[in-house]
Amino acid sequence: MKAWNTVKLGLVLTAYAAAACVGLAFVYGKTKAVIDKQDAIKLEASIKELFPNADGFADITGTFDSPDSGVLFESEYSITQGGKLIGAAVQASANSYGGTIKVLVGVNAAGTINRVKIMSHSDTPGLGANAANENYFVDKSARLTFYGQFSGKQVGDPFEPKNDVIAVTASTITSRAVSRIVRAAGLAASQWLAAEGAEQ
């Protein structure tokens, strides 16, 4: 009798576990579509920030190879204005102090960084997190943010914190991770743009 009760309990628990798994799968399926849609809206808005004058972009993921093994290219986009190719955007990630940091880098046909946007990070609030803070200035007199200083840099620049990049105070690892991503994305995108004969 005890053996049957044990088997019965096991069957009941198995049924509950199966029902929970089915329920979770259903919820995941429903919410994933919503999350993916929100991510797409956020990405489009971010690309518009990088290229305010652009009127179109296309997903060309898989076109670029990262020149840095520590930088992962997650997605790539061609940027157009009036049907002409004017730039490229690369969403890339690398290891930072608190985990992975993800950055969207815009590169124009002239071989310079158009703009940079930090999409996500897990770095320490008040320290590494300042890299993405629009109210934290690495140069207060010029009201220059950490990510803002990359605009206009040539892709062939060193991108070295404490050299040609002003580091976030007490956050050399974060500063180095972002600089590394921007450099890798800049080099890959500019080579592709030159090969495609992008409009300067």
Is 139 in the same domain as 83? yes
Residues 73-97 have a mean pLDDT of: 96
On whether both 12 and 61 belong to a single domain, the answer is no
Q: Are residues 173 and 80 in the same domain?
A: yes
Q: Report pLDDT for 71.
A: 98
Q: How many domains does the chain have?
A: 2
Residue 28, classified by CB atoms within 10 Å of its CB into exposed (0-12), middle (13-18) or buried (19+), is exposed
Classified as helix, coil or strand, 94 is strand
For residues 109 and 27, state if they share a domain.
Answer: no
**Does 161 lie in the same domain as 62?**
yes
pLDDT 10s digits, 93-138: 999 999 999 999 999 999 999 999 999 999 888 888 999 999 999 9
Average pLDDT of the segment spanning 25-52: 78
Asked if residue 124 and residue 41 are part of one domain, the reply reads no
Sheet holding 99-108, edge to edge: 56-59, 72-81, 84-96, 99-108, 113-120
Q: State the pLDDT at residue 18.
A: 64
More confident residue, 28 or 168: 168
Domain that holds residue 41: 1-50
Final residue before a domain boundary, out of 31, 50, 69: 50
12 and 67 share one domain: no
**Mean pLDDT score across all residues of the chain:** 89
- 4 and 63 share a domain? no
Q: How many Å apart are CA 14 and CA 194, to the nearest integer?
A: 60
